[in-house]
Every structure is written in structure tokens, then in C-alpha cells.
Amino acid sequence: MGRMLLKQLTVLVVMVCSTAPAVSAEQILIESDKVRITSLDFEADLLRIPLEHRAEVLASKARIAKLLESMLINKTLAVQARSVGIDREPLMGKQIEMAADKLLAQEQISRITKEIKIPNFDARARELYQVDIEKYTVPTKVHASHILVDTKTRTPEEALQRIKQVREQAVGGKKFEELALEYSDDPSVKGNKGDLGFFEEGKMVKPFSDAAFAISAPGDISEPVKTIFGFHIIQLNEKKPKLVRSFEEVKEKIIQGEREKHLNEYRKTLVGGILTDPSLKLNEEAVNQFWTNQKICGRTAGCCLIFYRERLKAVM
């Protein structure tokens, strides 16, 4: 698209932004001798974007212009396709029909679920909190730094002797991060200077994790620790004790989870009613024409009907 049209789109963007998210009257945003894009077209296309991201789109002139540009291209190509009868081809016609069916089905589910009366889950939330309080417990975390001397180019004895010498310097007062930059074989040391940040127990290899969590006071340095990577010394920077989050902190999250479960069960019942409709009939012979594994079955088509029926039950 040329620069002139992009400038025109930018002007249109200002208009759309000033009227978003809804306009009182349908306005023409872009028009050519072939197509017309209106504010209602724009709003409809905007619905494709997840709700949580729409504000970002409307806050950016460039993104709105890109959206309008895409709509213009699609509409123009669609007009060309209709002019040569592509929309009247049997399979294409069915694809268009199925796309509309899918959109309507999604909207039907959305509207039905919005009308559902959601129970009050306050008592249920407290019950779930009390039954599984560990789920709402933040485990103990430590913030540690380390220096690694590996055994790739030296014997275990040489590596152990080297890490002991480094530890002596650290205990003697030399800055741990300076020692890490000078001696550590950890590939990430240049970026983090040996600082591993916070981690929970069990998140590192066991000997390292055990040693890190055994250090009692910030600033203390462990004895050499052997792991599959070589020998380490660990300095504790900070320790955060286990924290049980209060019910008030997690209440809304628990309730939201119960609401979602309630809605999912409703949707499942709704879909189940469709799949178990007593008027439902399966043209087994016709369906089997599309089945590519008929030879594998080695039995009559009757076995396929059992499969289809069992599949219907499985989604219930």
C-alpha cells in the first residue's frame, strides 16, 4: 500500500480512536470504486482480537492502520472472488456456510452462558482453602550465589583443591562476585556474576539444593559441594521463609475457578444434549466412505458404527 493511502489511514485512525469502542452511527472509513469499509466493519473485525488486547490495538494508530489495511485487502480480494463465482462453487459455498455456523455457535454459547445465574461460591471457596491450604502456601525460597569449578579439564582432586582455595579467599573477605568472575566455570557467570536469584527447595540438583537450604545466615558460605557439574561453594544472600497466603488474598481466584467449573459443566450438559438427541441418525455407510483405515479394521462396517457411538459417549 502506498504512502499516500497510509497517510489517509492515519487520518481515519484518529476518527476511529475518537469514536471507539462504539460509534453511534455507521461511518465510512475507507471507500474505493470496488469496496467500502465502515465503522461497523471495523468493530466487527476488532471482535476477533481477544478482549484483553483490544485496548492495546485502539491505543496504537499504527496497529489500527494495519487492521484497516488488512480489511481493505481482504474485502477487495473477496469482491474479485465473487465476481468470478468462487463463492458459488459447492465446496467453497459449504466452507462459507460452516464458517458462519461456527461463529454463530460460539456466539450462542457465549450468550447462553451470560444468562446463567452463578451461585454464590464464598462458602465453597473457604472450604477449598481450608481443605488444601498447602496449595496456597508459598514455599521457602533462598537467594544464593555460587562458584563452580568443573572437572572437564582437571581431576576431581584438582577441582576440590581449587574450590577450597577460592573459599578461603571468600571467607577472608574478598567479594564473592569478583571471585566468581575470576574462578567460576559456570557459562553464565559473565552475565550474572554467580547470582542464581531466588529458588525453591528441589529446583536445583539435590546436593546443591540441600547445601543451599542448610546455610542459616545471609553472607555465610558453604563448604565445597560436589554435583554432577563439579565442585561448588554457595553463598546465601537472603532467605524467605514459607508463607501461607491469607484467605482474603486468594478468595477471588478460588471463586473464579469455581465459576469456570460451573460454566464448563453447563456447556458440557448443553453439548451432551445435542449429541444424545434421540432424533439423531448416523448414515454409517456414507461416513465410512471418508474413513481411510477400512482395511485395518478387517470387519464389517458395523464395527465403525460402534466406534462412532462410543465416540459420542466419550465427549459427554
* Tens digits of residue pLDDT in 263-277: 999 999 988 888 888
Domain boundary among 86, 105, 127: 86
232 and 288 together in one domain: no
Q: Say whether both 209 and 146 belong to one domain.
A: yes
User: Of 241, 274, 300, which marks where a domain is finished?
Assistant: 241
Give the CATH number of the domain where residue 157 resides.
3.10.50.40
**Diameter of the chain measured on Cα atoms:** 85
Domain membership flag for residue 106: no
Beta bridge mates, 142? 199, 239
Are 36 and 47 in contact, with CB atoms under 8 Å apart?
no
Domain shared by 154 and 225, yes or no: yes
- Quick check: helix, strand or coil at residue 299? coil
- Pair (237, 288) in one structural domain: no
Residue 212 in domain: yes
In a domain? residue 255: no
Angle (nearest 5°) at CA 262 between 53 and 105: 60
CA distances from 248 to 129, 170, 251, 286 (A): 10, 45, 5, 58
Residues 292 and 204 in one domain: no
Same domain? For 288 and 224 the reply is no
Q: Give me Rg for the CA atoms of the chain.
A: 32
Mean pLDDT, rounded, for 297-301: 47
| 298 lies in some domain | yes
Q: Determine, yes or no, domain membership for 296.
A: yes
How many whole angstroms separate alpha carbon 9 and alpha carbon 61? 9
Structural domain tally of the chain?
Answer: 3
pLDDT (average), residues 280-293: 82
Q: Minimum mean pLDDT among 117-126, 174-183, 230-239, 270-279: which range?
A: 270-279
Residue 312 in this model has a pLDDT that exceeds 70: no
d(CA 40, CA 10): 18
- CA 160 centroid distance within chain: 44
Statement to judge: residues 167 and 237 lie in one domain: yes
Residue 273 inside a domain? The answer is no
* pLDDT the model gives residue 289: 84
List the domain range (segments joined by +) for residue 183: 140-241
Averaged pLDDT, 239-268 = 94
Q: Residue 306 falls within a domain, yes or no?
A: yes
- Residues 245/224, Cβ–Cβ less than 8 Å: no
Alpha-carbon distance 149 to 61, whole Å? Answer: 54
The answer on 65 and 10 residing in a single domain is yes
The answer to whether residue 114 sits within a structural domain is no
Residue at which a domain ends, from 61, 86, 111: 86
The predicted-structure confidence for 1-56, as pLDDT tens digits, reads as follows 455 554 555 555 545 444 444 445 789 999 999 999 999 999 999 999 998 999 99
- In this structure, the answer to whether residues 162 and 226 fall within a common structural domain is yes
- Output the pLDDT for position 25: 76
Residues 154 and 236 in one domain: yes
User: Are 165 and 223 members of one domain?
Assistant: yes
Residue 46, C-beta contacts closer than 8 angstroms, at least 6 positions apart: 21, 54, 57, 58, 67
